[in-house]
Amino acid sequence: MNGINWLRLRFHLGDSLRQQALLAQISQLGAMEIYCNGRLVQRQGKLHPDPSRATPGPINVDPVVLPIAVGSAEQVLAVRLVSWAPPVRLGTGEVPLLRVWLRTVPQVLVSTAEQEVSRTIFYVVGGIFGLLMLLHFAFFHYNPAQLANRYFALYALSLTLASLGVYYGSTLSLARVPALVLSGITFTLFFLGSMWAVRALYALFNFRLGSIYYALWGCLIVLLLFHHFHLFSTLSFLSYLAFVVLATAEQLRLTVRALRQRQRGAWIIGSGFALGLLCALLFASLIVTEVRFSMQLENFFYPLIYLPPALGISLFLAREFALDSQLLQLKLDEVKRLSAQTLAQEQEKQTLLAQQNETLEQQVQQRTAALQRSLTELRTTQTQLIQREKMASLGELTAGIAHEIQNPLNFVTNFADVSTELCHEAQEVVAGSAYPAPQKGALAELLSDLGENQVKITQHGQRAASIVRGMLEHARASTGERLPTNVNALCEEYLRLAYQGLRAKDKTFNATLTSDLDPDLPLVTAVASDLGRVLLNLLTNAFYAVRQRQQQSGENGYVPTVRISTRHGGNQVKIQVQDNGTGIPDHVKAKVFQPFFTTKPSGEGTGLGLSLSYDIVTKGHGGTLTVESEEGKGSEFSITLPV
């Protein structure tokens, strides 16, 4: 319909109706003027030939009394109407442009009373959910760890605002656009309320969010858009009820899952949601089957859908608080009982302690002498341990220095090799050059000397690198992994390493090194670093012994000699370390493998070297470590290892 339109209705009233006041209740989408028997009785909105410039009337219009022509039974009702073109259709195309109900005063009073009851229902429901909202927000404030209270509070807040939206939407005389916006917001809050209830159950029962939850959000968006584009039609209510049914079904599924997991009190919440689902299904069936029922009954369904779940939640929380209070009381009683028991035990302990103090005083007097002796031994041991720590720190420092030296040594040997090759190339160039013979000979001689020097640099650099590798291998922490090991290579390496170590302390010291290694010696399964530590300890002691004899005796013709040999016999390998040093007295020989026993001056030995070596050979490798010595002539340590 375009422009201004006229609608006329001619009707006759019976004799009884002409004696009563007749009222018109009107619902329209646009602006209108109502005439009865030629008289203007009501104007709603502002009419204009251009519908886009017309101002629609409010959504709630009070009934208007029609002036009835007394002398004639025929009455003429005329409506001057301009349709309204909203900016967004929002389902207005499915709503009749104009609806007029002619009712008597008693009928209007009954309808008004029903509307008032309906508004009161939503107002009361809004108040109930408002109290629940404050309650759950308070719970969440004092216990933020329980996230379910936050979502229950959002659930109650959504339904509070939605209920107040229904109440004020039917009470205030709002213009058409604000009324449509308020209706859309109200039903959006109803949709969100159901969704927050689902989210609250996930948090309450500690369930992980899954595909069903996110699919439910998708259904909310689709059904909410469908609802907004079919406002005031049957389809809008069906879309709303469809989502309520889906959300409530998910709530029941979560509750059943919680019941299967035997979560406490889940049946209370399940009962509330089941009752809400039953009411929603009943309401939907009444709408689908087009059963006529009053507005008052229709509005009763909303609290019946939402209040049972809220009551179930409240009962659940009340039960939880009651159980927590009982549990707290039981714990308090247990604390009191334990406190009394602890007090009695404390008194008993005090008595026992008094008796033990007397006994201890006697024991202290008896053990004072023994403690004094132990204190002296502890001081000696402490001195040895401090020396051991110093040696360990020195070992770490040595390993660090060796590691830093290794890279420059690699550069020295590498560049020496390159320089040697360059010398050879230079000799070839000089040989093929046109220099005079004397100059060519001098250059060739210089290049030859330079090449020999580079070869010596390479040899000594490789020797230094070998020493550094030995130091690093000795300092490296053992992984404990037993691997096939070349014992001959270990003996040669640690013989040189021990000798160089003593030479670093005393540049004047020289000794004869002898190695007699079995060339057919098989590989031995051992921890190479541990076995190397044993060899280093034995060889270091051997060099120390020959040096001591050289310094103390001053014998003419004495040559310090250290010999290491390997042999393979049967199913074992034997390693012998011999020296012609000071030897070991018989009364000392039985103690050399004891921890912290040493004959060296304080600061030069910890007494742990031979003890650790003995444990490595016997316990770590299943072998033997023995010593044979004659005082003043030398010592021989023998290691046997199984093959």
Examine residue 213 and state whether it is found in any structural domain, yes or no.
yes
pLDDT of residue 92 exceeding 80, the answer is: no
Residue type, 331: K
Look at 422 and 1; give whichever has higher pLDDT: 422
For residue 103, list its beta bridge partners. Answer: 23
When computed from its CA atoms, the radius of gyration of the chain, rounded to whole angstroms, is 53
Contact 491, 470 (CB under 8 A): no
CATH code, domain with 526 = 3.30.565.10
Q: Based on the domain organization, do 633 and 488 belong to the same domain?
A: yes
Which residue, of 263, 297, 319, is where some domain finishes?
263
Classify residue 30 as left (phi > 0), alpha (psi -120 to 50) or beta: left
Count of structural domains within the chain: 3
The residues, any chain, with a CB within 8 Å of residue 139's CB and separated by 6 or more, are: 146, 149, 153, 317
- Ordered alpha helix ranges (H), 143-210: 147-171, 176-204
- Please report, for residues 467, 469, 603, the alpha-carbon distance to residue 474 in angstroms, rounded to integers and kept in the order given: 11, 8, 21
**Whose structure tokens read 């060899």?**
535
Look at strands 561-569 and 512-516 and give their pairing: parallel
Helix axis angle for 105-142 and 295-431, nearest 10°, is 40
pLDDT of residue 175 exceeding 60, the answer is: no
Examine residue 289 and state whether it is found in any structural domain, yes or no.
no
Examine residue 601 and state whether it is found in any structural domain, yes or no.
yes
For residue 515, list its beta bridge partners. Answer: 564
Q: Based on the domain organization, do 69 and 126 belong to the same domain?
A: no
Which residue, of 209, 234, 263, is where some domain finishes?
263
Q: Is residue 31 very low, low, confident or very high in pLDDT (cuts 50, 70, 90)?
A: confident
Decide: helix, strand or coil at residue 345.
Answer: helix
- Ordered alpha helix ranges (H), 432-520: 437-475, 487-505
Q: Based on the domain organization, do 153 and 81 belong to the same domain?
A: no
Q: Is residue 291 very low, low, confident or very high in pLDDT (cuts 50, 70, 90)?
A: low
Q: Based on the domain organization, do 24 and 128 belong to the same domain?
A: no
Quick one: tokens of 374?
Answer: 């132990």
Examine residue 434 and state whether it is found in any structural domain, yes or no.
no
pLDDT digits (tens, 9 = 90+) for 209-219: 889 999 999 99
| pLDDT score at 642 | 92
Residues 157 and 137: their CA atoms lie apart, in Å, by: 10
| pLDDT score at 67 | 80
Q: Is residue 229 very low, low, confident or very high in pLDDT (cuts 50, 70, 90)?
A: confident
Q: Which of 518, 524, 520, 531 is nearest to 643 (CA)?
A: 524
The residues, any chain, with a CB within 8 Å of residue 304's CB and separated by 6 or more, are: 275, 276, 279
Altogether, the residues listed in the chain come to a count of 643
Q: Which of 64, 73, 58, 57 is nearest to 102 (CA)?
A: 64
Which residue, of 263, 288, 308, is where some domain finishes?
263
Residues 429 and 424: their CA atoms lie apart, in Å, by: 9
Calculate mean pLDDT across residues 380-393: 62
CA dihedral 377, 380, 384, 389 (to 10 degrees): 90
| pLDDT score at 611 | 83
Q: Is residue 133 very low, low, confident or very high in pLDDT (cuts 50, 70, 90)?
A: confident
The rounded mean pLDDT for the chain is 79
pLDDT of residue 316 exceeding 70, the answer is: yes
Q: Based on the domain organization, do 65 and 113 belong to the same domain?
A: no
Percent of the chain surpassing pLDDT 90: 12
Examine residue 283 and state whether it is found in any structural domain, yes or no.
no
Residues 165 and 122: their CA atoms lie apart, in Å, by: 9
Examine residue 223 and state whether it is found in any structural domain, yes or no.
yes
Q: How far is CA 354 from the centre of its chain?
A: 53
Residues 186 and 237: their CA atoms lie apart, in Å, by: 13
- Please report, for residues 22, 70, 104, the alpha-carbon distance to residue 16 in angstroms, rounded to integers and kept in the order given: 11, 12, 11
Q: Based on the domain organization, do 177 and 238 belong to the same domain?
A: yes
CATH code, domain with 81 = 2.60.120.260
Contact 491, 564 (CB under 8 A): yes
Contact 290, 323 (CB under 8 A): no
pTM: 0.43
Q: Based on the domain organization, do 142 and 241 belong to the same domain?
A: yes
Residues 90 and 176: their CA atoms lie apart, in Å, by: 12
Residues 579 and 560: their CA atoms lie apart, in Å, by: 8
Q: Which of 261, 282, 283, 131 is nearest to 205 (CA)?
A: 261
Contact 387, 606 (CB under 8 A): yes
Residues 273 and 306: their CA atoms lie apart, in Å, by: 9
| pLDDT score at 402 | 67
Number of H helices, E strands in the chain: 14, 14
Residues 232 and 550: their CA atoms lie apart, in Å, by: 118
Q: Based on the domain organization, do 491 and 594 belong to the same domain?
A: yes
**Residue 289: how many other CB atoms lie within 10 Å:** 7
pLDDT of residue 476 exceeding 60, the answer is: no
DSSP codes, 100-132: EEEEEHHHHHHHHHHHHHHHHHHHHHHHHHHHH
| pLDDT score at 310 | 73
Calculate mean pLDDT across residues 515-521: 92
- DSSP state letter for 352: H
Contact 158, 193 (CB under 8 A): yes
For residue 334, list its beta bridge partners. Answer: none
Q: Is residue 170 very low, low, confident or very high in pLDDT (cuts 50, 70, 90)?
A: low
Q: Based on the domain organization, do 43 and 159 belong to the same domain?
A: no
Q: Which of 506, 548, 521, 538 is nearest to 636 (CA)?
A: 538
pLDDT of residue 1 exceeding 80, the answer is: no
pLDDT digits (tens, 9 = 90+) for 574-614: 999 999 998 988 888 888 888 777 777 765 666 677 888 88
Contact 196, 243 (CB under 8 A): no
Calculate mean pLDDT across residues 481-506: 87
pLDDT digits (tens, 9 = 90+) for 329-351: 888 888 888 988 888 888 888 88
Expressed in angstroms, the distance from the first to the final Cα of the chain is 111
Helix axis angle for 295-431 and 176-204, nearest 10°, is 70
pLDDT of residue 381 exceeding 80, the answer is: no
Contact 584, 544 (CB under 8 A): no
pLDDT of residue 15 exceeding 90, the answer is: no
Examine residue 449 and state whether it is found in any structural domain, yes or no.
no
Q: Based on the domain organization, do 547 and 492 belong to the same domain?
A: yes
pLDDT digits (tens, 9 = 90+) for 102-128: 877 777 777 777 777 777 777 787 888
Contact 126, 167 (CB under 8 A): yes
Q: Based on the domain organization, do 21 and 125 belong to the same domain?
A: no
Examine residue 244 and state whether it is found in any structural domain, yes or no.
yes
pLDDT of residue 507 exceeding 90, the answer is: no
Q: Based on the domain organization, do 126 and 200 belong to the same domain?
A: yes
Quick one: tokens of 150?
Answer: 């936050």
Q: Is residue 638 very low, low, confident or very high in pLDDT (cuts 50, 70, 90)?
A: very high
Q: Is residue 397 very low, low, confident or very high in pLDDT (cuts 50, 70, 90)?
A: low
Calculate mean pLDDT across residues 605-629: 85
Structural domain boundaries enclosing 59: 5-85
Contact 104, 23 (CB under 8 A): yes
